[in-house]
Copies of this chain bind each other. A is one copy, B any other.
Amino acid sequence: MWWRRPGRRADPASAGLTRSAAGDLADLVERARAADPRAVARLISLVEDESAALPEVAAALAPHTGKAHVIGITGAPGVGKSTTTSAMVVTYRAQERRVGILAVDPSSPFTGGALLGDRVRMQEHATDDGVFIRSMATRGHLGGLAAAAPQAVRVLEAAGCDVVIVETVGVGQSEVEVAGLADTTVVLLAPGMGDAVQAAKAGILEIGNVYCVNKADRDGADATLRELRTMLSIGRNADGQDASSWRPPIVKTVASRAEGVDELVAAIDAHREHMQAAGELESRRQARARAEIEALVVGDLRRMLTQGEASQKLDSLAGDVVSGVSDPFTAAATLRALLGATTRSFQ
């Protein structure tokens, strides 16, 4: 059956966690709940490596999730996402809130993983037991990170984090869009990184709940702020939102000197309060879970198409398309028929 998880998932031993040692998993989850950093790290590794034990990990974590405020931080490379995240952690810790950070970077063939330079800045928090920091690299799995990132968030929730910050590079039509993962999405801009019109083109003016102009001490900060305000007000008018809807605030920061960061954290908290009062937090989480389930189902279909007979048939159909004998739609219809994707329960 196409939905049977193939490949590495089929070998639980490769995860360093055998099925006979299922007690290990229960113990691991208990230790993570007690905020043992090694247990947290181990669970996130299981998630990241797409361990065969992943479904069991997810099931074990389920009852302990849903409490943290999940904050997405996004923006173009160079706007200062890591510096801002690091400064926010200082504020949260002063408020005695426990913080988890997931830094999601695109993979690179240069290092076999993410470029971790920025992570160094966060090492000031490395000895604080109220802070968990983890970089996650996309490893080229089909939909791998889409499945892994939300699970990693759940590990951090289970470990008692009040706030989980997910930091991603840029936005796109990716399955890993931070907006889909977060309760509150913070979009970072910086002067000289392209104006607000460019930001609009990159699609980031649609996803922010809070906007932050970082490096606000630089030339052009006020211009960026002005343009951003204009673009956002155009968007609002187009949407025809009513008075009760959330109006994304714009905060100015110089994260490297911690300036404006308390205000940024306050704006993020205000967004959560608004969402909760309006019942939007629940509906957003519902949409998120929906997307997550869908990604798993789609990911399995994709995986199946990379293996065995299905993959061979796809190759032969692709050859027909290249030679002009067939077209992609005819080929897709043939493949669908061969996959035997008949629906018994739905029509």
Interface residues of A (CB under 8 A from B): 1-3, 54-55, 58-59, 61-66, 76-78, 105-110, 115, 117, 138, 147, 150-151, 169-176, 192-195, 197-203, 205-206, 231, 234-235, 238-239, 282, 285-287, 289-290, 292-294, 296-298, 300-302, 304-305, 308-310, 313-315, 317-319, 321-333, 335-347
Across the two chains, which residue of chain B brings its CB closest to A107?
Answer: B203
| A77, B79: Cα distance in complex, Å | 14
* Contact present for A59 and B330 (CB under 8 Å): yes
* Contact present for A78 and B321 (CB under 8 Å): no
* Contact present for B78 and A198 (CB under 8 Å): yes
* Contact present for B58 and A198 (CB under 8 Å): no
Known: A289-B318, A293-B321, A324-B66. A201 touches B106 (CB 8 A): yes
* Contact present for A173 and B174 (CB under 8 Å): yes
Taking A62-B327, A115-B197, A294-B314 as known contacts, 8 extra A-B pairs with beta carbons closer than 8 A to each other, sorted by chain A number, are A77-B201, A193-B194, A282-B322, A286-B315, A293-B318, A293-B321, A294-B305, A342-B342
Across the two chains, which residue of chain B brings its CB closest to A3?
Answer: B336
* Contact present for B238 and A109 (CB under 8 Å): yes
User: Which secondary structure dominates chain A's binding surface?
Assistant: helix
Known: A138-B173, A201-B105, A293-B335. A342 touches B343 (CB 8 A): no
Across the two chains, which residue of chain B brings its CB closest to A340?
Answer: B344
Across the two chains, which residue of chain B brings its CB closest to A203?
Answer: B106
Across the two chains, which residue of chain B brings its CB closest to A292?
Answer: B328
| A115, B347: Cα distance in complex, Å | 40
* Contact present for B341 and A2 (CB under 8 Å): yes
Known: A169-B202, A324-B66. A318 touches B290 (CB 8 A): yes
Set of chain B residues within 8 Å of A203, measured between Cβ atoms: 106-108
| A198, B343: Cα distance in complex, Å | 46
* Contact present for A194 and B293 (CB under 8 Å): no
Set of chain B residues within 8 Å of A192, measured between Cβ atoms: 192
* Contact present for B302 and A290 (CB under 8 Å): no
| A227, B300: Cα distance in complex, Å | 39
Set of chain B residues within 8 Å of A2, measured between Cβ atoms: 341-343, 346
| A58, B321: Cα distance in complex, Å | 10
| A64, B282: Cα distance in complex, Å | 52
* Contact present for A110 and B173 (CB under 8 Å): no
* Contact present for A346 and B342 (CB under 8 Å): no
A-B contact pairs, 13 of them (CB 8 A): A3-B337, A62-B326, A105-B201, A106-B201, A110-B234, A150-B328, A172-B173, A285-B322, A287-B318, A293-B332, A297-B332, A297-B335, A310-B346
